[in-house]
């Protein structure tokens, strides 16, 4: 069974929380020297990217300040051009882009009820 839009929204929120936990107290240099933490960070960004692709365009349009296309694209970069991913770009996402995305996701979650299943 396919995941609901609300579950996808929750997946993004959870991945952001995981990134925050993973990077809490770490510097860019510390992260760049820890291959396992870097891989985990990239994986959480992939989850954000993939889940964002399943949010309807009409919903995304209610949050126009979020660069939805770039969010979707980062997953492709991480999966297919992994050898050319700029660590500083990923750190920039952590420092500058997660807060606005998290706020937008919270707003979308408030407007999107959970679907009860049997």
pLDDT digits (tens, 9 = 90+) for 86-95: 889 999 999 9
| pTM passes above 0.75 | yes
Closest residue by Cα to residue 48 from 26, 27, 61, 67: 67
% pLDDT > 90, the chain: 84
pLDDT digits (tens, 9 = 90+) for 12-56: 999 999 999 999 999 999 999 999 999 999 999 999 999 999 999
Confidence of residue 115 (pLDDT cuts 50, 70, 90): confident
Confidence of residue 99 (pLDDT cuts 50, 70, 90): very high
Distances (CA, A) of 5 to 22, 93, 115: 26, 23, 9
């Amino acid at each position: 069974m396919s995941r609901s839009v609300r579950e996808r929204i929750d997946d993004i929120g959870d991945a952001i929380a995981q990134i925050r936990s993973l990077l809490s107290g770490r510097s860019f240099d510390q992260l760049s020297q820890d291959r396992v933490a870097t891989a985990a960070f990239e994986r959480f960004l992939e989850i954000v990217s993939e889940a964002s692709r399943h949010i309807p365009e009409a919903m995304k349009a209610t949050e126009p300040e979020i660069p939805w296309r770039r969010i979707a694209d980062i997953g492709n970069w991480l999966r297919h051009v992994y050898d050319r991913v700029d660590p500083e770009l990923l750190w920039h996402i952590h420092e500058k882009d997660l807060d606005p995305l998290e706020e937008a996701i919270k707003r979308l979650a408030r407007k999107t009820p959970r679907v009860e299943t049997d």
